Structure 1
Amino acid sequence: MASGSTSTTANSLKRKAQENIGADLQPRKLAAIAEGGTNQPLRPSKVAPNANVNRLGKGPPPLTKPRAPALTSSTTTAATRRTTRATSAPPKTAPVRPPARPASRTTSARATAVHDDRFDVLQQQISGIEAARAADAARLDAELAQERAKRSDLQASHEALSRELTNAKSQELAQRKELFIASDELNTLRQRHEREISELQADLRKKDRELRELNEDLRMYQSDLERERETVKGLKATIAQQATAQLSLTAQIGAMQAEKAAFQTEYDRTVGTKADLSIQLERAQKRIAELECEAREGETVRRKLHNMVQELKGNIRVFCRVRPILRSDILSDKLVSSVSSGHISDGTGSPDPEEEARLRDDAMALIAFPDKLDHKEIVVRASSESATGQERKDEWQFTFDKVFEPHSSQAEVFEEISQLAQSCTDGYNVCVFAYGQTGSGKSFTMEGGQTQTTAGMIPRAVEQVFRVADELKTKGWQYKMEGQFLEIYNETINDLLGKGEFDKKKHEIKHDPKTGRTTVTDVNVVPLSSPSQVRTLLSLAQGRRTVAATLMNERSSRSHSVFTLRIRGENTLTGESCEGSLNLVDLAGSERLEKSGAASDKDRLRETQSINKSLSALGDVIAALGEKGEGKSDKHIPYRNSKLTYLLQNSLSGNSKTLMVLNLSPLATHLNESLCSLRFATKVNNTSIGTAKKQTK
C-alpha cells in the first residue's frame, strides 16, 4: 500500500511539473520599447539549440524570447512538502505483525528507492529549466540594454536634427530679410530710374523750348540785319551831310585855339600854386612821421597799461558758464519714461509746448544768478528729505570773476577772453582751459560749431591774434606764427597733427628755464598764415582725437587736448622783439565711475582712472600754489605727477596769464558733479600764482 501511494504521488508531481513547464514555455509578448517617438517591435531572437524546450519536446520553438518565470517559494515549498511527505514520512503505526512476512518489507523498500530515483530526475530537469530561464533572462536584459542605447542615439540624432531645423529656419529668416532689403533697393532703383526719366524728359522739353527761342532769335536777328542795311543807307546820306558840317567845324577849331592860349596862361599860374603845395606836403609828411613815432610810443605804453590791467584782474582767473538745457536732455529715456505715452511715444517725438516747458522745469536744477550787475555770483539750491522725513533745504553760494548764464552767447564769453588773446601779441604766455564734467559743454565752449555765430574760443582767439597782428603792421611789427595740437590720453602724449600712428613715438616734455619756453619732442609744428588754415588743422585734429561713448555723454572726450599757438614778433623800427604763446586746453570730462558707466569695461575704467588722476594732480598743483602764495616759499609743487600738469607747468607757475572756464550742466541729476566742480573752481579762484613775465627772444 505504501508502494502504491508513493507511485501515485510521483505520477502526480511529474504531471504538475510538465504542466508548469508547458505553461512557462508558451511565447510571451514583451512591451514595445519607444525610441525616437515611435514604437518598434522587438525582433525575434535565435533560441539556443540546447534549450530545455527542445529537450522536453513541448511544441515548436517560440517566436519571441521566452522569459523563465521565477519559481515561487510557495510552489517550491509545496512541492518539497509533498515530496517529503511521499518519501520521508514515517509509515503509519500498524499493529505488530509476526515476523513471518519479510517479503512485503522488501517490496516496500524497493518502491521507495525507485521513487527516490524518479524524484532526483525531476529535480535535475527542474534545475535545467531554471538555468535556461536565467540564461534567457540575461540575454533579454543585454538586448534591452542595446535597445536603450539605440534609443539614446536616436534621441541625440533627433536633437541634432531639431537644431539643424532651427538653424535652417534662422537662415530662412535671414534670407527673407535680405530679400526684403533687395526688394527695397529695387524699389529705390525703380524710383530713381523714374525720377531720372522724368528729369530727362524735363531737360528734353527745356531743350525744345530753347530751340524754339533760338529760332525766334534767329528771325529777330534777320529782321535786325535788314534794319541795319537800311541804316547803312541812311548813314551814307548822313556822311554827305557831314561833309558840309566839316566846314563849320574848322571854324570852331580856330576858336578853340584861342581858348587854348587862355588855358596856358591859367596853367602857368597853377604851377606857381603847386610849388606852394609841395612845401606844405613836406611839412605834412614831417608831421606824419612825428605822429607815427608818437603812435609807436603809445603802443608801448598801451602794452604796459594793458598788462597792468590784466595783473590787477589777477593772473589766474575763473569764469563759470552754465549751458542751456537741450532737447536731448528732456527727451532722454529717464524723463520719457515718466511721461504718458500720449505725449512722447519713443523719445524722438516732439512734445507740445506746455509739456516741454514742464519737462524743462523738472529737469532744471535750482540755480540762481543774483548778481545782475557784475554777473559774478551763482547760487545752487537743493532740497532733500532727512531720515526723520522732514524736508531739508541746502544752499551754496559761489563767487567767480565772471558768471555766464545759460542764454549767454559765444561772442559774450569771448569778449572777456579777448584781452588775454591780445596779451599773446604783447609777448606773454596765455593759458585758457575748460574744466567740467562730461557733457557740460567744454568742447562747445572751446571749439564751437560750424557757423560764425557758434564758433568757439579757439577759432575766435586765433582770429583775434591775426587781426591784431595785421593792425600792428602799420606800427612796424612783423609776426610769425606756428601751431601744434597735442592729446594726452592715458598719460600718453599723441600728436594730433602728425602723420604716423598714435603711441608709436615717445614724446618728452622739456622746459627751458632761461626763456620759459615749453617744447615737446617729435611733434609736428605747422607754420600758420591765416585763420582759415587754423580751422582746417582743428578739423583734422578733431577727426583723430580719442572719443568714446559713456553714460554721461553720447560722444564724450576721453582725452585732454592742448592747442598751442606760438607768436614771434619783431619791430624793425624800434628794434623790439617778443615771443608769446597761447595754450587753449580742452580737459577731459571729470566724472565718477558709477556715473560714467565705465566700471564694467576695462578700457573705459582705465581711461576714467587716468582722467581723474590727471585732474586730481591738477588740483594738487593748484593747492600747492595756493599754499606757496600764502608765504610757504619752500612748498614743493608736484608738476610731475601727471603729463598734463607738467606740460602746463609754465602756464601755472606764474609765467603765464591763466584763465579757467568752468562749465556746468543745468540738470538736477548732475547736481553733485556740479557742486564738486564749483568747489574745485573756488579753490583755483583763491589761488595766487604771481606775476606773469614778458618773454623776449
Structure 2
Amino acid sequence: MSRLPRPNPDIDRHHQLSSSVPTMNSTNLKRKAVDDGATDVQPRKRLAPIPESKQPLQDSKTGPNINITKRTTTGPPPLTRPRGPPLSTATTRRTTRATSAPPTRPGSSASTSRPTVTRRPIAGRTPSGSGATNDQRFNALQQQVTSIETARAADAARLAADMEAERAKLSELQENHLALSRELAAAKTQDIDRRRELADASEEIDQLKKKHANIVMDLEMDLKKKDRENRELKEDLRMAKSDLERERETVSTLKATVSHQSTAQITFTTQITALQAQVTALQTALDMSSNQKSNTELKLETAQKRIEELEQETRQAETLRRKLHNMVQELKGNIRVFCRVRPILASDLPFSSHSSSGSDCGSRSSSPDDTQRLAETVKADIVYPDKLDHREIVVSSSSESATGQERKDEWAFAFDKVFEPHSTQSEVFEEISQLAQSCTDGYNVCVFAYGQTGSGKSFTMEGGPTDATAGMIPRAVEQVFEVADELKKKGWEYTMEGQMLEIYNETINDLLGKGEFDKKKHEIKHDFKTGRTTVTDVNVLPLSSPSQVRSLLALAQSRRTVASTLMNERSSRSHSVFTLRIRGENKMTGETCEGSLNLVDLAGSERLEKSGAGSDKERLRETQAINKSLSALGDVIAALGEKGEGKGDKHIPYRNSKLTYLLQNSLSGNSKTLMVLNLSPLATHLNESLCSLRFATKVNNTTIGTAKKQLRAANGSA
C-alpha cells in the first residue's frame, strides 16, 4: 500500500489568498500590467474596468483632449452651443440686406470686435424723406447686436469654465484608472506566484506518486521474473530428463550400428578391391580411346581439307555451269520467239444466236456435245504438224472466188516453241525458267507478250488467282528466289528490288505509286557504262518474298488502264513493264554480278475497223498510240536484224516511242530477249493472227548479237 502525501501548509495558504482575491474576467487576466514609471504617457491599450461602475473605459489617445462618448460619473449636463435671442420679425426683415462677419470663438483675438453693418436703401423708399427715423432704428438695431455679442461672450466664458472642469475630472479619472491598473497588475503578479507555487506542489505530489508506482511495479516485475525462472528451471529439468532418456536410446542404437558397420566394412573392402580392378580396366580403355580420338581428329582434319577442296571445285563448277548455261542460251539465240494459242472460251461461243428458240434450246446449247459443235464452228483452221519438237504451226483458210470455185490458202510458220491450246502455265514457264536462271547469273533478260486484244497476253504474263494458273511474272520471281536460296550455300548473297510501270498514250505511269497518274513527269535515263536503265520519280520497292510480288501485281492490276472494245470487254489500253533488279555478291570468291528481268505485257494490237475504236475519240487516240509504239518496236527489231547481218553501222530508232526507249538495253546485244506470241483460235480473228505471226517471224529471224554479263564492282558500279 502506498502512503498518502502529507498536506502542504504553503498550498493551503495559497488557496486562502486566491479565494480572497475577487474573481476577474478571463480577458482581464491576459492583459499586461502598466509600468509604474510611465505615469506621464497614456497607455495605448484598453483600460481596465472600474470596479464600482463595472463599465469599460474607452481607448486613451496621446494628448490631453479625450472625447468621452459615455458619461461614467454624475456631473453637469453636456455643454451646448450658446444661441442669441431671437430677433423680431420686423427687425429681421429690415436687416436682411445687411452683412456682418461671423462671431469668432472664445479666446480668439477678434472675439470683441464689432461687426460692420452696411446700410443699403430699401426699394421704394427715399432716404431723404425719413432721415431721423432711420437713425433711431439703426441705433436700436445696434443695441440689439451689442446685447447679442455680450450674451455670446458670457456663454463662451461659461463654456470655457465648464471645459476646464471637465478636463479636471478627466485627469482625476485617468489618475484613478492608473492606480487601479497598478493594483490589478500587483494582484495578477501575486496570483501568478501563488499559481506557480501550487503547480510546483502538484508536480512534487505527482513525482512522489510516480516514484511509489514505479517501486510497486518493480516489485511486481521481480515477483513475475522469479516465477518465470522457476517455471524455466522446471522445464529445463524435464528436458534434461528427456534428453537423458534419448541419449540412452541413442547409445543402444549406436552399439547396434557399430555391430552392423563391422560387417559392412568387410563387404566394402571386398568391393574396393573389385573397383580398383575396374579402374585399371577403364584406364586401359581410356588410353585406347585417346588413340582413337587422335586418329579421328586426323581423319576429321583430312575430311575438312577435302570439304574445302570440294567447295572450291563446286564454286569452279558453278562458274563453269554459268558459262555453259550462257552458251546454251546463246546457241538457242539471244532473241527467241514462242507461240501460244489460247483455248476457246465460253464467251467465244455464239449462245445468243440460239436463244430465240427458248430456254430448252439454251439448255441444249450448254451440253458438252453442243459446246464442242459450236467450238468447231467458230474455231480457225490451225494445225500443229510437228508433234516431236512442237516448233511449227500451220494456218489454213478457205474462201469462194467470184467464179464459185473454192480457194484454199495455207501459211506455215516455225518458231522456237509452239504451245497448243491445251498447254498449261507450268509447261510454258518450263521453257522460260532458263532465262530466269540467266538473270541471277548477271544478264539482262526481257520477256514480252505480243498479240491482239483478247489473245491471252495478260493471262500468260500475270495469270490467275490459283497456283496452277499463276503467270510468267510470279513464276519467274519465285524461280529467282529459289535459285538465290540455292546459291547461298555456295557463298552468294542476293538483294532484289522491283518496279511496275505503265506506258499509256506515250506517258509513263507508276503503277506502284500512291498519287494520281500524270501528276509527275517520269523520264527514262540510260547508263551505258553499267547497262542500267532507270526511270525518275518511280517507286522501287525492295523484295523479300514471292508473296510480296503477288501483292504488288494485284495492286498494279487494279490501277492499270483498261477499256471495252469490240475485240475484248476489258482490253488493256497500255503496256505494262515489270522490272526485277538482282544484285549478287560472293564473299568467298569476291565475284559480283547485277542483272535485271523485264517482264512486259504489251497492249492489244488490232486494226481500227476490227476494234471499233474509230467512233470514240478517246479509244481512237489510245489505239493510234498503241499501234505507233508496236510499229516502232517492229522498226527497232528490223534495224537490229540488218545490223546483225553486217550491213554497216545501222541506226536503231529506239527513241521513236517510250516503249522501245525503255527496253533499249533489253533489245540490244546486252540482253537475252524472249517474245511470247499469243494467238486467238477464232476464225473471225484469222487476219489479225496472220499479222501477228508475220511480225513474230520477222522477230525470230533477227540476230541481235551476244549478251554480255553485267559485273558490279566493289563500290556498286558495273
- What TM-score does the superposition give when structure 2 sets the normalisation length? 0.60
Task: Say yes or no: does 1:435 pair with 2:454.
Answer: no
In the other structure, the counterpart of 1:675 is: 690
Q: How does 1:456-535 map to 2 (within 5 A)?
A: 456-535=471-550
2:604 and 2:485 map into 1 onto residues whose CA distance is 37
1:444 and 1:460 map into 2 onto residues whose CA distance is 13
Percent identity between matched residues is 79
Deviates further, 438-447 or 351-360: 351-360
* Counterpart selection for 1:596 from 585, 596, 611: 611
In the other structure, the counterpart of 1:405 is: 420
In structure 1, runs of 5+ residues without a counterpart are 1-250
In the other structure, the counterpart of 1:623 is: 638
In the other structure, the counterpart of 2:706 is: 691
In the other structure, the counterpart of 2:678 is: 663
Paired residue type of 1:655: N
Secondary structure at the counterpart of residue 475 of structure 1: coil
| Cα separation, partners in 2 of 1:358 and 1:263, compared to 1, 3 Å | farther
- Post-superposition offset of 1:318: 0.2
Once the two structures are superposed, residues 61-89 of structure 1 have per-residue CA deviations (whole angstroms, 9 ceiling, x without a partner) of: xxxxxxxxxxxxxxxxxxxxxxxxxxxxx
In structure 2, runs of 5+ residues without a counterpart are 1-266, 713-718
Secondary structure at the counterpart of residue 613 of structure 2: coil
Secondary structure at the counterpart of residue 599 of structure 1: helix
- Post-superposition offset of 1:548: 1.3
Q: How does 1:326-337 map to 2 (within 5 A)?
A: 326-331=345-350, 333=352, 336=354
Deviates further, 280-289 or 386-395: 386-395
* Counterpart selection for 1:270 from 282, 286, 289: 289
1:656 and 1:563 map into 2 onto residues whose CA distance is 16
Q: How does 1:274-313 map to 2 (within 5 A)?
A: 274-313=293-332
Once the two structures are superposed, residues 32-76 of structure 1 have per-residue CA deviations (whole angstroms, 9 ceiling, x without a partner) of: xxxxxxxxxxxxxxxxxxxxxxxxxxxxxxxxxxxxxxxxxxxxx
1:685 and 1:344 map into 2 onto residues whose CA distance is 47
Secondary structure at the counterpart of residue 615 of structure 2: coil
In the other structure, the counterpart of 1:244 is: none
- Post-superposition offset of 1:680: 0.5
- Post-superposition offset of 1:269: 3.0
Task: Say yes or no: does 1:560 pair with 2:560.
Answer: no
| Cα separation, partners in 2 of 1:332 and 1:696, compared to 1, 3 Å | farther
In the other structure, the counterpart of 1:368 is: 383
Once the two structures are superposed, residues 643-666 of structure 1 have per-residue CA deviations (whole angstroms, 9 ceiling, x without a partner) of: 001101111121100000000011
In the other structure, the counterpart of 1:585 is: 600
1:396 and 1:491 map into 2 onto residues whose CA distance is 34
1:648 and 1:690 map into 2 onto residues whose CA distance is 16
1:543 and 1:268 map into 2 onto residues whose CA distance is 75
- Post-superposition offset of 1:292: 0.3
2:359 and 2:415 map into 1 onto residues whose CA distance is 44
Task: Say yes or no: does 1:391 pair with 2:406.
Answer: yes
Q: How does 1:59-138 map to 2 (within 5 A)?
A: none
Paired residue type of 1:355: D
In the other structure, the counterpart of 2:113 is: none
Paired residue type of 1:660: M
2:278 and 2:617 map into 1 onto residues whose CA distance is 98
Task: Say yes or no: does 1:547 pair with 2:562.
Answer: yes
Contact 2:364 2:370 in 1 (8 A): no
2:357 and 2:675 map into 1 onto residues whose CA distance is 42
Paired residue type of 2:666: S
2:642 and 2:359 map into 1 onto residues whose CA distance is 59
- Post-superposition offset of 1:475: 1.2
- Post-superposition offset of 1:630: 2.1
Higher helix share: 1
Once the two structures are superposed, residues 85-112 of structure 1 have per-residue CA deviations (whole angstroms, 9 ceiling, x without a partner) of: xxxxxxxxxxxxxxxxxxxxxxxxxxxx
2:485 and 2:642 map into 1 onto residues whose CA distance is 42
1:331 and 1:358 map into 2 onto residues whose CA distance is 11
Secondary structure at the counterpart of residue 614 of structure 2: coil
- Post-superposition offset of 1:259: 10
Secondary structure at the counterpart of residue 473 of structure 2: helix
1:401 and 1:419 map into 2 onto residues whose CA distance is 14
Contact 1:343 1:351 in 2 (8 A): no
Once the two structures are superposed, residues 632-652 of structure 1 have per-residue CA deviations (whole angstroms, 9 ceiling, x without a partner) of: 223221111110011011111
- Post-superposition offset of 1:267: 4.7
| Cα separation, partners in 2 of 1:332 and 1:435, compared to 1, 3 Å | farther
1:394 and 1:579 map into 2 onto residues whose CA distance is 49
In the other structure, the counterpart of 1:322 is: 341
Between the two proteins, the alignment pairs up a number of residues equal to 445
| Cα separation, partners in 2 of 1:263 and 1:360, compared to 1, 3 Å | farther
- Post-superposition offset of 1:258: 8.9
Once the two structures are superposed, residues 504-534 of structure 1 have per-residue CA deviations (whole angstroms, 9 ceiling, x without a partner) of: 1100111111111111111110111111111
In the other structure, the counterpart of 1:635 is: 650
Secondary structure at the counterpart of residue 538 of structure 2: coil
Once the two structures are superposed, residues 270-294 of structure 1 have per-residue CA deviations (whole angstroms, 9 ceiling, x without a partner) of: 3332221111001000000000001
2:652 and 2:587 map into 1 onto residues whose CA distance is 40
1:295 and 1:649 map into 2 onto residues whose CA distance is 36
In the other structure, the counterpart of 1:192 is: none
Contact 1:343 1:352 in 2 (8 A): no
Secondary structure at the counterpart of residue 407 of structure 1: coil
- Post-superposition offset of 1:557: 1.0
| Cα separation, partners in 2 of 1:446 and 1:254, compared to 1, 3 Å | farther
1:682 and 1:629 map into 2 onto residues whose CA distance is 16
1:260 and 1:541 map into 2 onto residues whose CA distance is 78
Contact 1:640 1:646 in 2 (8 A): yes
* Counterpart selection for 2:584 from 569, 572, 575: 569
1:340 and 1:368 map into 2 onto residues whose CA distance is 35
- Post-superposition offset of 1:351: 1.4
Contact 1:431 1:658 in 2 (8 A): yes
- Post-superposition offset of 1:371: 0.3
- Post-superposition offset of 1:350: 5.9
Paired residue type of 1:657: K
Q: How does 1:338-357 map to 2 (within 5 A)?
A: 340-341=357-358, 344-345=361-362, 351-357=366-372
| Cα separation, partners in 2 of 1:364 and 1:274, compared to 1, 3 Å | same
2:666 and 2:557 map into 1 onto residues whose CA distance is 23
Secondary structure at the counterpart of residue 392 of structure 1: strand
Q: How does 1:248-267 map to 2 (within 5 A)?
A: 261=279, 266-267=285-286
In the other structure, the counterpart of 1:644 is: 659
In the other structure, the counterpart of 2:122 is: none
1:597 and 1:264 map into 2 onto residues whose CA distance is 98
